[in-house]
Structure 1
Amino acid sequence: MHITKLLPLFATAAFAGGIMHNTNQSTDFVRNFAQDASISNSAVYYNPAGTAFADDGLFVSVNSQTVWQTREIETDLLGDYEGESFVPVMPSILLNWHRGNFAVSGGFFLIGGGGEAKFYDGLPMIDQLISAMITAQSSANPALAKLAAAAGISNPTDLFSAKFTGKQYVYAWQLGASYRFFDMFSAFLGARFNYADNAYEGTMKSSIDNETLNALFTKTLLDCEQTGWGITPIASLGFHYKKLSAGIKYEHNTSIEMETDTEEIDATVAATMPQFTDGAKTDNDLPAILSVGVSYAWFDWLRTGIGYHHYFDTFASYPNDKQDDLDGDENEFVFGIEADIVEQLTVSLGLQRTLYGITDEYINDLSFVTDSWSIGGGLAFRFTPKFQVQIGYMETIYEDYKKKEATGITKTYDRTSHNIAVGLDFKI
């Protein structure tokens, strides 16, 4: 087990999208994943060049999502471990000002992380690490071994309970401009400023009512925060003619170096995870993304769209060179359909397939995402031509991933994810 590679990616991929990215940045997406050719308010993030096809005026989209997830690790020797994450509010704001052939757009997003994951019963790798530490101490300290034997304890994991909490937020502010030419083509150039803020806390507590054991096994293992920033250059091309729209977007790799501010760290943790010592610096890039999409209005009331996303994970710099443990980049395929039931009401449905380049070397207790299917749906109601309310729900179904470690322990990884989104769109 490569202990030094475990913690840095703990709270990533909290929502939809890549290993490091959140792509659920509007209610439009939650109810219809095929937004890559959008020319509505969601184009600000998904198809920036498409903002040039808007009507004149200022368009505002305000969205909030509530997300709840579980992460489960089943082991054949250590038992089962479950973590949970709940994010009551995940905001995003999209703005587009259009006049003539020109548009200026921008927004605020949580482009990565956005939540806090809690493992109240610890994690297998933490139990393994502490157990190894206890075994070594027992060998060097016969008195400790006698105390454990007197308490009827033969398994080191029965001496303590541990818990771990990790959170990550990557705040992003985007700004750019688009221009429409030859009526049906458009281009966009812009950038996004990203500020990353991670925090990790691990504690252990003695399970035995004994002063000596309490002193040894009740302590803080880790309490630290990491911060860093980076800039993402963005380019996009769009096409719109009658019933057909298309878009292509490229986000360049975002280089982010995280600096660690450590309040407390156990000596054993510091020795095995030096990246969490005070002042340590760690790479934590957001990989480049290429997305393409097409949408078509079959009738005035019926529209469909498809899209493809490629995340250049193997070209990014992840903590402790985790990208080298992948066997390929991530690929994502989306489909969406929406219909106007009546003039004011639109219903929609979306489907997404996500395929990661995950390997046994990459996946671990604190950083695991697996291939998945996502389904979403919702509705939009237009009170007036200038004001719309949206609501959507999406669920991601992850495939189990099983691996056997060199220690002989077999682990099965699984996750669940659900979120509800509400959005307000209006024109000024």
Structure 2
Amino acid sequence: MTKKFLIITLLSLAAGSAFAGGLLTNTNQSAHFLRNPALDASTEIDAVYTNPAGLIFLTNGFHLSLSNQSVYQTRTITSTFAPFAVNNDGDQTKIFKGTASAPLVPSFQFAYKKDRYAISAGFAISGGGGKAVFNKGLPSFEAPISMLPLSLSSKGVPTSKYTVDSYMEGKQFIFGVQLNGTYKINDALSAALGMRLNIVSNAYVGHLKNIMINPNQPAFGPLYTGSAMVSAPKFFTDAATALSGWSAGATSYAAGLQPIVTGGGGTVLLANGTSAGLTTTQIAQIQGLLGAAGLTQAQIAAVNIQTAQGTLAAAAPVFAGKAAAMTTNAGSTADKQLDCTQTGWGVTPILSLNYHVAGLNLAAKYEFKSTLNVQNNTVIDDTGLYADGVNTPHDIPALLTLGAEYQLCDKWKVSGGYHHFFDSDAKMANNKQQYINGGVSEYLLGSEYQLNDIFLISAGGQITRTGVTDAYQTDMSYSLNSYSIGFGGAIRITPDLRLNLSYFFTNYDKWTKASTNYNGTTLAGTDVYNRTNKVFGIGLEYKF
């Protein structure tokens, strides 16, 4: 058994972004994005995040955008591992499903533009978001537990079933507060400098309890006949007690038989030990210990006192070692709970450039790496692996975005973009960044068409290519290639007020990972990772 499967799973559960973007970064920070994700060269109010240098093309005055996104996501791991069959109607394949929901993900963007200058501010969930729940745990929870029947049976304790109650819930939010200053250098070129304050707030709650097995070993207690499910910790505790008693008994009898051997009675059959001064009770107890040491009834009937003494002397430390192992197993299978939060903060400097000529707008933005740690604030940690006050690396990677927008005619424009997240350079817990080849890359296209003075429609897509390797992927944290499609529209309620309505969904490519040492069990197993993602958006834009 391992003590790590609960704690590591909980800590990694919410480590990935629940929205569009890289491993730790959300790029969808407005309802506008959901209906057209290719906004990297935008010159509208959403450019507070996507293209701060493009804000110089706003009309003079104040501009405000308020949005809410409702995010619904599932994570599915289809695991094939032979020991799962005993708790899955004989089927070696089990499906572990988690749900993540965030019905309220608010954001706002504000800008004031005056001639050649603009200042702007924004707030959004810049990373993570929502709550992920696995009501039946994960394969890494269950794999070590599923080995119990096989392990016990191989050690002479026939066991054919196990059950477990496992649960995990994780929440992760990185709140981003951004400030920008924009300057128009000339009629074609503008630039912006900004910064984002990232405030991390994570919470994890989980348990692994009520591990039950059906061992058939009455020698450890009358409950253990194989006919009923019993508490695994109680069984291992009772087994340790019995084995410790056997060790003490074997040691005592090995010493007690020495005078008989010294006096020349060593060749007497143990069964005839009364002739050498043993009582019938003592003979029966010694025979019981010899049986526990592995001798057959025939061997016990034929053994003499001297051989019995040697066997008991050799068996005593073996019993003691097994008792220690049973005590360890009792601790490993005991109920475990975790309740902890993490907090931390870091600053992201942002540089943005925008070039405009005729109907073409080009933009580039670079967000520098945010170096930060998160600190554990632990209420309860039965694993002993998550000490209160410990800091864990949680860097937010640098991000480069490139965008282009072209006005085909008065009513129709098209746009494209490229994102690259430098994930390999952002330090993660356990140096997991070493298993990333560069980072995540995204390719975006979009189009908007103004039907009339009131209604606008738009659509776009995003292709995401993850840079992770097979070594990065675990059931606790995985990244998948995907494509996303968003569509929706805008309604001009008044000349100064616009309503955005949008929908965005993502299709993921499955990732299959086979292992010859599945979750540290030394047996082969396979996980197939998959996800779904749906986001609904609504927002208002107002200029005054």
The question of whether the paired residues in 1 share the 8 Å contact of 2:503 and 2:534 is answered with yes
The question of whether the paired residues in 1 share the 8 Å contact of 2:172 and 2:200 is answered with yes
- Displacement of 1:333 in angstroms is 0.3
> How far apart in 1 are the matches of 2:233 and 2:146?
15
> How far apart in 1 are the matches of 2:499 and 2:152?
63
Residue number among 399, 404, 407 corresponding to 1:297 in the alignment: 407
Corresponding position: 1:125 with 2:129: no
The question of whether the paired residues in 2 share the 8 Å contact of 1:9 and 1:319 is answered with no
- Displacement of 1:129 in angstroms is 4.1
| Residue type at the aligned position of 1:82 | K
Corresponding position: 1:154 with 2:160: yes
Give secondary structure in 2 for the equivalent of 1:348: strand
- Displacement of 1:28 in angstroms is 1.1
Corresponding position: 1:9 with 2:125: no
Identify if the C-alpha distance between structure 1 residues 374 and 386 changes in structure 2 by more than 3 Å, giving closer, same or farther: same
- Displacement of 1:13 in angstroms is 1.3
- Displacement of 1:213 in angstroms is 4.5
TM-score w.r.t. length of structure 1: 0.91
Higher mean displacement: 195-204 or 99-108: 195-204
The question of whether the paired residues in 1 share the 8 Å contact of 2:149 and 2:160 is answered with no
> How far apart in 2 are the matches of 1:365 and 1:222?
19
- Displacement of 1:263 in angstroms is 1.5
Q: Corresponding residue for 1:246?
A: 362
Higher helix share: 2
Corresponding position: 1:418 with 2:534: yes
> How far apart in 2 are the matches of 1:221 and 1:360?
30
| CA root-mean-square deviation | 2.3
| Residue type at the aligned position of 1:194 | N
Give secondary structure in 2 for the equivalent of 1:277: coil
Matches within 5 A, 1:312-323: 312-323=422-433
Give secondary structure in 2 for the equivalent of 1:342: coil
> How far apart in 1 are the matches of 2:404 and 2:342?
39
Identify if the C-alpha distance between structure 1 residues 5 and 359 changes in structure 2 by more than 3 Å, giving closer, same or farther: farther
Residue number among 167, 170, 195 corresponding to 1:166 in the alignment: 170
- Displacement of 1:214 in angstroms is 7.7
Residue number among 98, 102, 116 corresponding to 1:101 in the alignment: 116
> How far apart in 2 are the matches of 1:71 and 1:363?
13
> How far apart in 1 are the matches of 2:8 and 2:230?
34
- Displacement of 1:211 in angstroms is 7.5
| Residue type at the aligned position of 2:350 | I
Higher mean displacement: 175-184 or 8-17: 8-17
| Residue type at the aligned position of 1:250 | Y
- Displacement of 1:130 in angstroms is 4.3
Corresponding position: 1:324 with 2:434: yes
TM-score w.r.t. length of structure 2: 0.72
> How far apart in 2 are the matches of 1:327 and 1:161?
37
> How far apart in 2 are the matches of 1:261 and 1:154?
40
> How far apart in 1 are the matches of 2:382 and 2:163?
18
Corresponding position: 1:311 with 2:421: yes
Q: Corresponding residue for 1:183?
A: 187
Give secondary structure in 1 for the equivalent of 2:48: helix
Residue number among 373, 386, 393 corresponding to 2:496 in the alignment: 386
Residue number among 193, 201, 208 corresponding to 1:204 in the alignment: 208
The question of whether the paired residues in 1 share the 8 Å contact of 2:42 and 2:51 is answered with yes
The question of whether the paired residues in 2 share the 8 Å contact of 1:32 and 1:376 is answered with yes
Identify if the C-alpha distance between structure 1 residues 84 and 349 changes in structure 2 by more than 3 Å, giving closer, same or farther: same
> How far apart in 2 are the matches of 1:353 and 1:237?
24
Residue number among 459, 477, 481 corresponding to 1:371 in the alignment: 481
The question of whether the paired residues in 1 share the 8 Å contact of 2:48 and 2:180 is answered with no
| Residue type at the aligned position of 2:439 | D
Give secondary structure in 2 for the equivalent of 1:55: coil
The question of whether the paired residues in 2 share the 8 Å contact of 1:31 and 1:379 is answered with yes
The question of whether the paired residues in 2 share the 8 Å contact of 1:205 and 1:214 is answered with no
State the number of aligned residues: 410
- Displacement of 1:336 in angstroms is 0.1
> How far apart in 2 are the matches of 1:129 and 1:168?
27
> How far apart in 1 are the matches of 2:188 and 2:454?
27
In structure 2, list runs of 5 or more residues that go unmatched.
85-93, 213-227, 235-329, 519-523
> How far apart in 2 are the matches of 1:396 and 1:388?
26
> How far apart in 2 are the matches of 1:21 and 1:212?
44
Which whole-Å deviations, capped at 9, do the CAs of 1:155-186 have from their partners, x for residues lacking one?
4xx23121111110001100010001212211
Q: Corresponding residue for 1:24?
A: 28
The question of whether the paired residues in 1 share the 8 Å contact of 2:192 and 2:353 is answered with yes
Which whole-Å deviations, capped at 9, do the CAs of 1:103-157 have from their partners, x for residues lacking one?
000110100111110000110001124456x679969xx9xx96xx6xxx524xx
In structure 1, list runs of 5 or more residues that go unmatched.
none
Higher mean displacement: 213-222 or 288-297: 213-222
> How far apart in 2 are the matches of 1:80 and 1:188?
49
Corresponding position: 1:351 with 2:461: yes
Give secondary structure in 2 for the equivalent of 1:96: strand
Give secondary structure in 1 for the equivalent of 2:78: strand
Higher mean displacement: 198-207 or 356-365: 198-207
Q: Corresponding residue for 1:111?
A: 126
Residue number among 430, 445, 450 corresponding to 1:340 in the alignment: 450
Identify if the C-alpha distance between structure 1 residues 358 and 312 changes in structure 2 by more than 3 Å, giving closer, same or farther: same
Corresponding position: 1:57 with 2:61: yes
> How far apart in 1 are the matches of 2:201 and 2:128?
9
Identify if the C-alpha distance between structure 1 residues 7 and 203 changes in structure 2 by more than 3 Å, giving closer, same or farther: closer
Q: Corresponding residue for 1:229?
A: 345
> What percentage of residue pairs aligned between the two structures are identical?
36
- Displacement of 1:264 in angstroms is 1.6
Higher strand share: 1
> How far apart in 1 are the matches of 2:113 and 2:391?
42
Give secondary structure in 1 for the equivalent of 2:72: strand
Identify if the C-alpha distance between structure 1 residues 28 and 263 changes in structure 2 by more than 3 Å, giving closer, same or farther: same
Give secondary structure in 2 for the equivalent of 1:13: coil
Identify if the C-alpha distance between structure 1 residues 418 and 279 changes in structure 2 by more than 3 Å, giving closer, same or farther: same
Residue number among 192, 204, 210 corresponding to 2:196 in the alignment: 192
The question of whether the paired residues in 1 share the 8 Å contact of 2:10 and 2:168 is answered with no
| Residue type at the aligned position of 2:98 | G
| Residue type at the aligned position of 2:417 | G
Matches within 5 A, 1:269-284: 270=384, 274=385, 276-284=386-394
Corresponding position: 1:92 with 2:107: yes
The question of whether the paired residues in 1 share the 8 Å contact of 2:44 and 2:55 is answered with yes
Q: Corresponding residue for 2:47?
A: 43
> How far apart in 1 are the matches of 2:498 and 2:188?
26
- Displacement of 1:364 in angstroms is 0.6
